[in-house]
A and B are shown apart, each in its own frame.
Chain A
Amino acid sequence: MVSPILELTDINKSFGHVQANKNINLKINKGTIHGIIGENGAGKSTLMSIVFGLYQANSGSIKINGKEINLRSPRDSIINGIGMVHQHFMLVENFTVLENIILGFEGETVFGEKLQKAKEDLEKLCKTYNFNIDLDATISDLSVGFRQRVEILKSLYRGAEILILDEPTGVLTPQEVDELFKILRSLKDEGKTIVLITHKLIEIMDLTSEVSVMRQGEMVGHTKTEDTSKEQLAEMMVGRSVLLRVDKKEIKKGETIFKVNNLSVKDDLDVTRVKDVNLEICSGEILGIAGVTGNGQTELLEALSGIRKVESGSIELFGEKISDQNNFLNPRMLKEKGLAHVPEDRQRMGLISDFKAYENLIFGYHDQEPYSKSAILNNKEITEYSNKVMQEYDVRPNSPNLITSNFSGGNQQKIILSRELNENPKVLLVGQPTRGVDIGAIEFIHQRLIDMRDKGAAILLASVELDEILSLSDRIIVMFDGKIVGEKENKNVTDRELGLLMAGVA
């Protein structure tokens, strides 16, 4: 029996009211590649940040080689032989590779001997693991794949025995992924231990020897990779919980309202996130988009709502082209055409947290009557409206003058929903409507969406909650890696079926 190199016992961590890690136990054996898999928000990154000393656990213990240690900062972890490669690289762009690697470990005031020594050591390391990096290259000239190698090299140079990689393939091209895996295998052969955080099942099957599955802050299973299958892991990842069924009338599908033709969209980093997507939404129908976060749903919604430019293809609303690679109507114009949008990330996009509640309740509609007249805001009308709508949506506390950041997540979400639903939109784009919202509010929000559908609105619902998709949608499409990998009428569809599609297996 091999003794584990890293052992976590009963780790708990919460941020405010959210418990990100609940009683986590984990053993990682020396010289293995250990996968940690789970959906976004399952608590994988939090857990590894605790191991790397970025966060401190509320309770629990961490042992390395059987010895209990106290990690208060990344420095402590580095001393104990733990290295981490973050999703977002921590490199100084206008420094060379060498300068980045020795940063903080220069060892001398005027560069000379030790720098030379470091360079020789690094060259040796590069050779051992086939890194193929020019140490004098400037980071800004390197591709993403090479930058990642610099990060790995940095950890190794600092004596890492355990290397944690957080979603390492998210930004890589398939070729770069292959190269990375080669490097990781050779590291394993040299006796290093690797912890791979990912939500991609294929990588787990390819690379790891053991795997742990996390769901909603809990560790739900450990197994040897050879004893399991993608299907089994997908099931564990998505989990089964009680379905919240909503009473829904028979669908009265109307004419096609929204039509998307061969749409491709790039994100801010110029990576193509939506690939050749075709879809149609009719009035009186809820189309659900299922998928693990980061598979293009965000960019799709942003393109449809006029926030993001499309790369190729076109979008039609009521038979009129609203967006192609040359032009797009901005959100204001789309609003006038009857399109409303509940964005995925309410903090980043849906609200201005420093504004008062009443200011957010009219956000985007602030220049329409009766809220303003010839550019002057009509405070009386706004206050009356705010009081009314906050009561109707049961926003607590019911005080329009309170700064929005003082409301809970669920109540912030109600502020956004009331604003977007109030104008009776003909098309409604909804992203993660119940993220971080309590049960009572979830039911309320779901009922509102159904009401909108019964009134004949065309609704596009993107959610990572399978239950939500299953209980609300009339038709379901599944997105994986920017493509639509499945489309089903919502009759006798099981979450297992969807889970497999979401994981890119089926």
Chain B
Amino acid sequence: MSNIVVDKSKVPWWVSNVIVPLVNLTLALLVSGLFVFIAGENPIEAVKLIIYGSFGYIQGFAYTLYYTTNFIFTGLAFAVAFHCRLFNIGGEGQAYIGGLGVFLVAINLSFLPVPIVWLLAIFGAFLFGAAWAYIPAYLQSKRGSHVVITTIMFNFIASSLMIFLLVDVIRDTNQMAPHTVKLPEEIWLPSFEAFSGILGIKIRYSPLNLTFLLAIASLFFVWFLVWKTKWGYEMRAVGHNTQAAIYAGISPHKNIIIAMCISGGLAGLLGVNEILGVSHKIQAGFPAGYGFTGIAVALMGRNHPIGILPAAFLFGILYQGGSEVTFEMPNITRYMFVAVQGLIILFSGALENLFRPQIESFFVRRLNREVNA
């Protein structure tokens, strides 16, 4: 009897791209449930509350999608850089500066026709975010300073710079808090309730707005860029094998800069959601950790837009459902959900290979049996 051995490459794609992430996620949630239990609450009830809070009523669902919007931007930002093997953990700062771009464009050009203001503001967000990522990119490509170090330092610089601007330069001088004046109402992005109002459904306020569609468009944009254009091809080539890229005449310097700038630009788009869509002004600290959570989103989504969409949605559910839980269960604080996020990052990022070998070899064995049967 001949034994045909099926090798690893024959493992179906859905095993490593669907089953493994799901197993990791389940584990993270089980451990989280344990925490909830230790905190003295019923984990099953907590799950029910999360589901109710994020899906149970239309306003809650709108909140979920609003969070999803932000996570798509920051998740994509991380993923694009990662295809060039760059760890851009500066999404937070790039988003912050991106917000400045939106605001400056919108407030100075508000006399233009509204859709043009929107387009230019989106462009402004992208440009400012990209510019903030350009400096670490330049330092990496020309001087060899590692982007992990520089981008995280640039988060702090962005934060300080924005506080300075918000206190001394662009503060709304009629009050004392570190935020700007509001943008004129006619250039605000239409909110979800405005849309549903047209359809005759009246719902309460939610921050969900037109930016959600921009996020969906960005998913397509990234997929197209990375897999369908020569720029994406060159970025991936540099990321996978720099030596080979040089051999083929592809410049690593150029591609590091392009990848980082697109990455920073995508992070900057978070400012469109927050400023043009929700608060209509720059507030101190508005990126609120979305930039960092985006890393987890990208890791869970395996740096592919098709994975990032559900991963961003999952984090949206956790954010929205989590606030419902903290509201209903006094023993569970907001920080509990930071821990849950941490567990998801731990299981889907750091411990990604914990179960992969077993799961894959399970399928290899099964295939072997089928082949030899």
8 Å CB contact of A355 from B9, B240, B247, B251: B240
Is the pair A363, B248 in contact by a Cβ cutoff of 8 Å? Answer: yes
Q: Collect the chain B residues with CB atoms within 8 Å of residue A349's CB.
A: 241, 243-244, 247
C-alpha spacing A331/B245, complex, angstroms: 10
Is the pair A352, B244 in contact by a Cβ cutoff of 8 Å? Answer: yes
Grouping DSSP codes into helix (H, G, I), strand (E, B) and loop, the B interface class, with mixed when no group exceeds half, is: helix
Q: Collect the chain B residues with CB atoms within 8 Å of residue A256's CB.
A: none
Q: Which of B151-159, B200-208, B227-235, B358-366 contacts A (4 or more CB under 8 A)?
A: B227-235
- Proximity string of chain A (358-369) to chain B, C-beta cutoff 8 Å, 1 when within and 0 when not: 010001101100
Question: Does residue A307 face the partner (Cβ distance < 8 Å to B)?
Answer: yes
Q: Collect the chain A residues with CB atoms within 8 Å of residue B248's CB.
A: 331-332, 363-364
Whether A307 touches B246, Cβ cut-off 8 Å, given contacts A375-B230, A376-B229, A379-B228, is: yes
Is the pair B244, A348 in contact by a Cβ cutoff of 8 Å? Answer: yes
Q: Collect the chain A residues with CB atoms within 8 Å of residue B241's CB.
A: 348-349, 351-354
Chain B nearest CB, measured from A40 CB (Å): 19
Is the pair B244, A331 in contact by a Cβ cutoff of 8 Å? Answer: no
**Which residue from chain A places its CB closest to the CB of B237 in the assembled complex?**
A352
8 Å CB contact of A403 from B9, B243, B250: B9
Chain B nearest CB, measured from A70 CB (Å): 28
Is the pair B230, A331 in contact by a Cβ cutoff of 8 Å? Answer: no
8 Å CB contact of B236 from A350, A355, A406: A355
**Which residue from chain A places its CB closest to the CB of B247 in the assembled complex?**
A349
- Proximity string of chain A (201-213) to chain B, C-beta cutoff 8 Å, 1 when within and 0 when not: 0000000000000
- Proximity string of chain B (233-266) to chain A, C-beta cutoff 8 Å, 1 when within and 0 when not: 1101100110110111111000000000000000
Question: Does residue A217 face the partner (Cβ distance < 8 Å to B)?
Answer: no
Is the pair A350, B230 in contact by a Cβ cutoff of 8 Å? Answer: no
8 Å CB contact of A333 from B228, B233, B249: B249
Question: Does residue A446 face the partner (Cβ distance < 8 Å to B)?
Answer: no
**Which residue from chain A places its CB closest to the CB of B246 in the assembled complex?**
A307
C-alpha spacing A306/B250, complex, angstroms: 12
Instruction: List B residues 170-222 near A (Cβ within 8 Å).
Output: none
Q: Collect the chain A residues with CB atoms within 8 Å of residue B233's CB.
A: 359, 366, 377
- Proximity string of chain B (125-167) to chain A, C-beta cutoff 8 Å, 1 when within and 0 when not: 0000000000000000000000000000000000000000000
Chain A nearest CB, measured from B114 CB (Å): 31
Instruction: List A residues 296-341 near B (Cβ within 8 Å).
Output: 305-307, 330-335, 341
**Which residue from chain A places its CB closest to the CB of B241 in the assembled complex?**
A352
Is the pair A330, B249 in contact by a Cβ cutoff of 8 Å? Answer: yes
Is the pair B231, A351 in contact by a Cβ cutoff of 8 Å? Answer: no
Q: Collect the chain A residues with CB atoms within 8 Å of residue B250's CB.
A: 332, 364
Is the pair B229, A354 in contact by a Cβ cutoff of 8 Å? Answer: no
Identify 16 new A-B residue pairs, CB closer than 8 A, beyond the known A331-B246, A366-B234: A306-B249, A307-B247, A330-B251, A332-B248, A341-B247, A348-B241, A349-B244, A349-B247, A352-B237, A352-B240, A355-B236, A364-B250, A375-B230, A376-B229, A376-B230, A379-B228
Binding site for A on B (CB under 8 A): 7, 9, 228-231, 233-234, 236-237, 240-241, 243-244, 246-251
Q: Can you list 13 A-B contacts (CB < 8 A)? A: A330-B249, A331-B248, A333-B249, A348-B243, A349-B241, A352-B236, A352-B241, A364-B247, A367-B230, A375-B231, A376-B228, A377-B228, A406-B7
